[in-house]
Structures are given as structure tokens and as C-alpha cells.
Amino acid sequence: MNAFLVRFGPALVGLAVVVLATIASTTVAARAPMWEMRPPHGATPGGGDCNDNDPNVYPGHVEIVGNRVDDDCDGLADEDANDNPSGDINDLDGDGVSLAMGDCNDTAGSIHPGAVEVVGNYVDDDCDGLADEDAADHPSNDAADHDGDQVIIAPDPIFASGFESAG
């Protein structure tokens, strides 16, 4: 017995150290990095205006079926009360995309899925529900309310420096 410990004891201790170190490093690597520990996108009310030129368009507005625009900023125009997409296959603005195909504004030919998002025009050009997001789809941090509907473009006050909440 003693001969066994004398011969293999140091090796067993060394093996245990290696195993413990492996477990420790694996545990650290599995932790979520700090930058992922933030509130989910869109969780904070008060922002996310997808058309800051029109006070009748903002998240929470009633979707008006038949006006061919996205009134409630979910990226769909004229969806029904259960959020079923419109089945309208007409293309009234001539951009090649019908409401049924996902056009979120069938009154403006420059606005349709796949359009380039024009940063600074205060509208959602590419029908993803966000206005003025950058080329990497990062949300705008524009904290001004340009149309007076009390809803800013920045979807999250964390991104909106100088955001003044009315409560």
C-alpha cells in the first residue's frame, strides 16, 4: 500500500489538478459575456417610432386596414386584428411588392422589403419595423420626437442619450 502511494501518489495529485483546472476554465468560458446581459430588444415602452414624420404612426397605434401603411410599426401594413398579414396582392405604388408580399407602405415606391434604409429620413424604408437603423441593423439612438406623437425613434432609452421620459 505504502509502496503504491509512494510510487503513484504524486501522479494522482497532478492528475487531479489538471482535471480541476479544466473544469474551472470550462465554467468560465460558458458564462455569458457582459454585453449580452442587457434587456431584450423592444422591452422598454416609449420608443420605436417607425415613422417620425407622421404622428399617426407609432408602436401601439391601431392598425388601420385599408390605408396601405404600417400604422403600428410591426413591419406589416394592413394586417388584421390578429396580426395576420394582408392578402392584398395589388401593387399600387409600383415597387414590385404587394402588401401580401410584405410591402409595409404601398403608397411609396421607395419603401419595401429589401430597400436600402436611409438613415436620417425618420422612416422605415426596408420594412423591418425600425426607422433609421444603421447598415449593421443597429437601432437609431435618435432621442428627439420629430412629429410630436411623444414617441422617439430610438427603441430603447439605453441607446438614447439625453432621453427625457415623461414617466
Contact 45, 146 (CB under 8 A): no
CB-CB neighbours of 106 under 10 Å: 25
Q: Residue 35 Cβ, how far from Ca ion at the closest point, in Å? A: 23
Q: Quick check: 95 binds Ca ion (CB under 5 A)? A: yes
- Residue 141, C-alpha cell as written in the block: 439612438
- Sign of the CA dihedral with 106 first, then 123, 140, and 71 last: negative
Q: Residue 44 Cβ, how far from Ca ion at the closest point, in Å? A: 15
Q: Quick check: 52 binds Ca ion (CB under 5 A)? A: yes
Rounded Cα distance between 79 and 133, Å, is 23
Q: Quick check: 154 binds Ca ion (CB under 5 A)? A: no
Stretch that binds Ca ion, among 23-31, 32-40, 137-145, 157-165 (CB under 5 A): 137-145
Binding mask 19-38 for Ca ion (x = CB under 5 A): --------------------
> How close are the terminal C-alpha atoms of the chain, in Å?
75
At residue 123, the 3 state secondary structure works out as strand
What's CA 154's distance to the chain center, in Å?
A: 11
Q: Quick check: 97 binds Ca ion (CB under 5 A)? A: yes
Rounded Cα distance between 145 and 126, Å, is 21
Rounded Cα distance between 43 and 35, Å, is 17
Residues touching Ca ion, count (CB under 5 A)? 22
Nearest to Ca ion of 9, 134 (CB atom): 134
Nearest to Ca ion of 84, 161 (CB atom): 84
- Residue 64, C-alpha cell as written in the block: 388601420
Enumerate residues 70-89 that contact Ca ion by CB under 5 A: 70, 72, 74, 76
Q: Residue 141 Cβ, how far from Ca ion at the closest point, in Å? A: 14
Q: Quick check: 54 binds Ca ion (CB under 5 A)? A: no
Contacts with Ca ion by CB under 5 A lie at: 49, 52, 63, 70, 72, 74, 76, 91, 93, 95, 97, 103, 106, 117, 124, 126, 128, 130, 145, 147, 149, 151
